[in-house]
A and B are shown apart, each in its own frame.
Chain A
């Protein structure tokens, strides 16, 4: 059993079988994090560089913990501490990192395609931890893992993804993954947050929350990026909340056993009501737990000797 490629750049590059392999492996890794000694010797002597050019707490911490639980040496580089602030190009930084002989480089970058460029430049395995508004494959994998564990399958499920679809790499990776695995995906948000060509990804589009959540098995809320507020995508967060906040009223339109997800960090009261985020139907913290397992699975599957 192996992945057919050296890098994890996006869901688009993965096959159904590879996704199943990753999710199966991740499920086995869940148990390691429950042990008294939360560490296995598998990646002893391997070095993983977490190269985060764009700010991140949960994804970087998740990758770091994943690497450490596998006994890899993990090194974190963030934008403010890297030579990029001294004017070094991404290419030069990449070649410098390569020369230090790590085994895997995890990269987050605000520019779409940065991990792909790195993958062509260096011989190490590259994992995309989010590139611009393009893809966030490890988030989609942990979301699919969470859904599969809760519902037993992805096939035939109605999944509503609600929020700023246009700027969300989480949405794009999930759309690609979920449709490939046979789920029925509906995307929903204000018109200016829905990309015009999104229907080409075989999703249903809705501009009304009530329509989108109707009969949903899974509701995936996206974070409204308040830092993008000056782009004026909507008049105010209060108005946004009035139309697109998941709350105890509109959730009733979904199936009775609907489950709620959110990639975090959440804006309480804007895209999701606090009682829903903390409620019994919320999978938000399970997503975080599963995220470590998915990242352990990827590090495990990518690390290895020469063929």
Chain B
């Protein structure tokens, strides 16, 4: 590869493996239970697409340890994005499935990577259209910094300082066949 241009080799580094992800989710699940003192009024909502499988796993861990099913929903935030009308190109809409009331519920919002905070802003606006929750907490597997809005996570799997030109990718068995978090630099 002698050409200088157009050959920016991407170097990928694994920052979290399957065991690491599993341990983080187990810890997050128990932190949620500890803070909430049980499953009373608790609901778990995963943000499309990266947060859905993580939310499902956290919900399963909580349901298993408390022997009581915790409601689980899926939220697509596309229609609430703040950049939706800046281009004619439209993101593909995902499914939203919240088949229970959010009134007076304690919502644990789950996403894979917390970055600018804009997705979480959109998600909170969307949730408010479904009802008036008692509170919303945020759980993320990776917090990579670079916030553009005053938003922070309550439960974090791993803080991963990153530069803006790096890409953080969370791969999960359900969608990618493997559990890993990698960081790529251009």
Chain A contact residues, CB within 8 Å of chain B:
1-3, 24-25, 28-29, 31-32, 35-37, 39-43, 45-46, 70, 300-301, 303-305, 307
Contacts and interface: CB of A to CB of B under 8 A. Distances in A.
B79 to A, nearest CB: 4
Nearest to B83: A305
Contact of A304 (B80, B88, B126, B131): B88
B87 interface: yes
Interface of chain B, helix or strand or loop or mixed? loop
Interface string B86-102: 11111111111100000
Interface string B110-126: 00000000000000011
Q: Which of B79, B92, B96, B130 has the most CB of A within 10 A?
A: B79
Given A28-B76, A35-B129, A305 B87 contact: yes
A293 B80 CA distance: 17
Contacts of A37: 129-130
Contact of A1 (B90, B94, B131): B90
Contact of B85 (A25, A28, A31, A305): A305
A46 B97 CA distance: 27
Contacts, number: 62
Nearest to B125: A41
B151 interface: no
A42 B87 contact: no
A28 B93 contact: yes
Nearest to B92: A1
Given A2-B89, A24-B92, A25-B93, A42 B79 contact: yes
B90 A301 contact: yes
B88 A40 contact: no
Contacts of A305: 85-88
A43 B85 contact: yes
Nearest to B103: A36
A36 B93 contact: no
B129 A39 contact: yes
Given A2-B88, A304-B85, A29 B93 contact: yes
B84 interface: yes
Contacts of B89: 1-2, 304
B92 to A, nearest CB: 5
A82 B88 CA distance: 31
A304 B79 contact: no
Interface string B59-87: 00000000000000000100110001111
Given A41-B80, A70-B79, A303-B85, 4 more contacts: A42-B85, A301-B90, A304-B88, A304-B89
